[in-house]
Structure 1
Amino acid sequence: MRLALLATALLSTGALAQAWQSDRGDGSYANPPLYADYPDPDIIRVGRDFYFITTTFANVPGLTIMTSRDLVNWRFVGHVIDRLEGRPEYELKDGGAYRRGIFAPSLRYRDGVFYIAVTPVGEPTRIYRSRDIRGPWTMNRLSEEAFDPGLFFDTDGSAYIVTSAMADGTATLLTLDRDLKTITASRAVHFNKGAEGSKVVKRGEYYYIFNSIPRRLGMTVSRARSLNGPWETRDQIDDRTGGHQGAIVDLPDGRDYGFVMVDAGAIGRMTNISPIYWRDGWPYWGTPDAPNRVPATARKPIQGEAPAQLPASDDFGARTLGLQWQWNHNPLPGRWSLAERPGWLRLRAVQGQTIWDARNTLVQKGQGPVSRGEVVIDASHIARGDQCGFGTFGKYNGHIAIGRDAGGRLMLTMRVVEDVVADEGRTTQKTDTRVAAVPLTGSRVSLRTDMDYRTNLARVAYSLDGQRWTDLGGTFPLAYDWRTGTFQGQQYALFCYNPAGRGGWMDVDRFTLSGAERK
């Protein structure tokens, strides 16, 4: 790995900038509504409320759901899965479930019940259901593994899944029983080379299948008067014009809007919202005046909602973690607490050689285009051998770790660990770069991580008083690569591990996220 420690294009220093706000406050919005990694979107409307579900891979809790009244301003509803079950990799064994886990959910609603179809890697498709979008959710497994399942309820309430995998592009229609517990029929109904990520909607006399074509980062739409076909297919947009995986959702007044995922570099895969117009029975992205592209800015789909942002900062004063937080894989419940020291998050050291294989790493999404995370840490109880701290998590794990030297002094060390998969298998090579440690006077320290997604560079710093900051090391890369790392954009991470096993602990007073940048 070649770090940018000596790069001339350093992150700039100086003034503060506003955090990203999609809603411009004048009746318009800018894409993306959420400048963060919310991939594989599925959005439905029930009454006046829109619901957005997204992929979470090996993060826990899993399957995040958000809600909005205008498709622009979103708030968290909750998570569907409290704990990943069914594979030892979810416990960070055998290399973990990086790039695997839970992804590409399909959300639908019928007769007062919300349903989710999702297929964990290597497992049969699961159907979750709840009368309340906040849960609790119950689950049953089907007999087959439907890749990227597209759940669909026809106008008579009958249930189907359309599934297609890029390897052959054949769309298979699975017919389900009324209770969505049994597959009663399976039939290949369409061929669309390279297709996956199927989503099915019906408008008028036509059924429509929206598909992602990953080999060219594009999208197609197919239509037929019967789910059994014959289907005709047209190309839609691609990543150059707005995205490559998504579909459409209807507004209360009958208009349609599109939602689509776009690969956006180190921040991961973001979701854009676009007007849709119809011509000759086909949906088109954009407007007749600017066709076949997602607009950078547009009028809000529904007027009147106040600008809002998802929560990010946390003073850890609640009894439960905020919905913005997730664990990397299943956590060890006895090794963290919000109650042992009220108003603080306590992370006890768990066994691990690096942050990559240590349990109880707490993460949340990096925010773009530029964001800064700051934490306040009490290091009094960090023991010899512990590595506890704060930084980035993903393809590049850059952070400041707090530990003790042979004499027992607290030390700050900047580390960057790059994760490289050698052969698409489970063997991971790790390149570990360290910057000489500096002693910590006292036991209370503030740590800061800046991520600039315009340059794909990050840096870390520390402060003894929360006012005067000292950079530790130089800039290091940010990156997204679906073949390595986490299959996610770079995240903020709090961690505490010890190669020898249990050690001490780190207390975190607060986490603050801002859109601050230095010029």
Structure 2
Amino acid sequence: MKSALELSSKNGLWGDQGDGTYINPILPGDFSDPDVIRVGSDFYCISSTLHFSPGMVILHSKDLVNWVIIGHVVNDLTQISPELNFDKMNRYGRGVWAGAIRYYKDKFWVYFCTPDEGFFMSSSIRPEGPWEPLQHMWQIEGWDDCCPFWDEDGQGYLAATNFSDEYKMHLFQMNEEGNQLWKDTDFVFHQYKGSEATKIYKIDGLYYFFHSEVRHQAGKDLRVVMMLRSSHIRGPYEEKELIHSHGEALDREPNQGGLLQTEDGTWYFISHQGTGGYYEGRTLHLLPVTWVDGWPIIGEDIDGDEIGEMVWGGQKPIESYPLITPSTSVNFTNDMLDPQWEWNHQPRAGKWSLTERQGYLRLHACVPLEVGNFFTVCNILTQRSLRTVNNVVFTKIDLSGMEDGQEAGLCHFGTRYCTISIKQEGTVRTIRYNDTGIQSIGSRISQCDLWLRSCWGLDGINTFSYSLDGKNFIDFDERYQLNWGNYRGDRIGLFSFNNKAENGYLDIEWFHYRYGGPQGQ
């Protein structure tokens, strides 16, 4: 078994290798808190989105290796709370946390918690949507990681963790419609330090409660994948560790995720890597699963202790489907944004448009909630920054609608932020570079067409540049280290604001994103 350093960190290999094999990560970007199901020959995965809108992203695959984004569950985050709206911008790291997806009675069901507002669910007959308006099942703080389960008799259950009460894990019964909890059926079935990430399965007549918890191993606290098993849903339970965790240097703690079985009966585990210390965040991984004495072993049992180890590659589960890489580039010719886009908090309606000028995205300038604080700029449109060998983002913008006090351009942000922008003062426009408040001023810009570019590699060191003709680019001398923050990997985005008044707009003609392929090229 090759190490993560050999396969990913050094060579930038990932995903489908085109020869019937794959290398982890299968997606080198921030797709944290995954859960997965199979419906027929199709696989569906959800991933938490926290303070980004639309919320709870949905991905589709035919082979468990090649994934594409197809939609979101929550179109409007204000269905959760007004605190997630553009006029608040104070839910960084909160919002839509981990959830679960299931297929039951010919419908897709998604349940999730937010740490401040409690339990939510929605359903749809199509995974890409439209999804039913959110049902707020319980207004309560301090809960996370809920998962539904329907037994053979049709009785529905929901498991979740009360992290504010020493991580007690609870099981409730639900009503027939699956949108209400019967709180008088509350049953605490497990408690340990950091216990969360619950998934419920019934396999060969036994009930399995997948979860992770924090255990002291190898001289430090690590998040470890565990399983409870019983012949009765209320126990008593046996418990077993499923995969060893060794920390950031060796395996980056695979933990949150879901088990599933392919049509040929083979089992797999889709997981994120819990350590998000790199700029790409918590990436998506695929691990084989074997069963011994009624217990799943995740990864590879190297030393014969019936506990798995992280696997960094293997044979594709299904080899008949071609390599597909995530869509990132767009020309703004549709009347809807493509599903890879997400706004930083709920956007301000009426201040962006795909129809005011056909073929362009128009971002109207708004005054930030706090002048000088980039994290209070509304209507920042973002995508995930991938970690590959060579990443280049180009965008072509039209400055003709800009007005005094406006600033607009291309950004990266995590814990810190960095922008390349045009700032207009009076009638004078200048190119600017801003690294979390430390600014450099470039040349004056007299024309309306401008091209902006961002380049970074495996190390995440970014270079911003601009061009007056789309061919010859001028680099800023400064370099910016991409970083993660608020449980999210780095985001690249487009923005427009005005510190003086609600005046001006930016027209974006296209956004093209090229990145290194799975084979590292």
Indicate conservation of the 8 Å contact 1:355/1:497, yes or no: no
* Cα distance per residue 1:290-317 (max 9 Å; x no partner): 8722321110111201110121000111
- 2:331 is paired with a residue whose SS is coil
Where does residue 147 of structure 1 map in the other structure?
A: 144
**Structure-1 separation of matches of 2:192 and 2:293:** 22
* Cα distance per residue 1:357-394 (max 9 Å; x no partner): 11111001111124221101111221111110002122
**Structure-2 separation of matches of 1:498 and 1:339:** 22
Where does residue 120 of structure 1 map in the other structure?
A: 114
How far the C-alpha of 1:94 sits from its partner, in A, is 4.2
In the alignment, structure 1 segments of 5+ residues that lack a partner are: 1-17, 418-431
From 167, 170, 173, the counterpart of 1:172: 170
From 250, 261, 265, the counterpart of 1:254: 265
The count of aligned residue pairs is 481
**Structure-1 separation of matches of 2:194 and 2:424:** 53
User: Normalising by structure 2, what TM-score?
Assistant: 0.88
Where does residue 433 of structure 2 map in the other structure?
A: 414
Stretch moving more, 159-168 or 270-279 = 159-168
Map 1:139-288 to 2 at 5 A. 139-143=134-138, 145=140, 146-166=143-163, 168-184=166-182, 185-213=185-213, 216-235=222-241, 236-238=243-245, 239=247, 240-241=250-251, 243-262=254-273, 263-264=275-276, 265-288=278-301
Cα gap change, 1:124 to 1:40, in 2 (>3 Å):
same
Indicate conservation of the 8 Å contact 1:218/1:245, yes or no: no
**Structure-2 separation of matches of 1:399 and 1:213:** 38
Indicate conservation of the 8 Å contact 2:42/2:62, yes or no: yes
Stretch moving more, 56-65 or 118-127 = 118-127
Establish whether residue 381 from structure 1 lines up as the match of residue 433 from structure 2.
Answer: no
How far the C-alpha of 1:155 sits from its partner, in A, is 3.0
Cα gap change, 1:439 to 1:433, in 2 (>3 Å):
same
Map 1:382-461 to 2 at 5 A. 382-406=402-426, 408-417=427-436, 432-452=437-457, 454-461=458-465
Cα gap change, 1:75 to 1:94, in 2 (>3 Å):
closer
- 2:428 aligned partner, one-letter code: R
Map 1:455-494 to 2 at 5 A. 455-481=459-485, 486-494=486-494
* Cα distance per residue 1:222-256 (max 9 Å; x no partner): 22222211222223233543512113111112221
Where does residue 341 of structure 2 map in the other structure?
A: 325
User: Normalising by structure 1, what TM-score?
Assistant: 0.88
- 1:319 is paired with a residue whose SS is coil
Stretch moving more, 443-452 or 92-101 = 92-101
**Structure-2 separation of matches of 1:124 and 1:297:** 38
How far the C-alpha of 1:496 sits from its partner, in A, is 0.2
Q: Sequence identity, in percent?
A: 28
- 1:143 aligned partner, one-letter code: W
From 8, 15, 29, the counterpart of 1:36: 29
**Structure-1 separation of matches of 2:280 and 2:138:** 36
* Cα distance per residue 1:89-113 (max 9 Å; x no partner): 2123444211111121211111111
Map 1:30-69 to 2 at 5 A. 30-69=23-62
**Structure-1 separation of matches of 2:131 and 2:345:** 20
Establish whether residue 500 from structure 1 lines up as the match of residue 507 from structure 2.
Answer: no
Indicate conservation of the 8 Å contact 1:210/1:246, yes or no: no
Cα gap change, 1:95 to 1:359, in 2 (>3 Å):
closer
Cα gap change, 1:403 to 1:19, in 2 (>3 Å):
farther
- 1:437 aligned partner, one-letter code: G
Stretch moving more, 181-190 or 97-106 = 181-190
Indicate conservation of the 8 Å contact 2:463/2:475, yes or no: yes
How far the C-alpha of 1:321 sits from its partner, in A, is 1.0
Indicate conservation of the 8 Å contact 1:165/1:194, yes or no: no
**Structure-2 separation of matches of 1:20 and 1:396:** 27
**Structure-1 separation of matches of 2:125 and 2:432:** 49
**Structure-2 separation of matches of 1:301 and 1:156:** 32
- 2:506 aligned partner, one-letter code: M
**Structure-2 separation of matches of 1:437 and 1:255:** 58
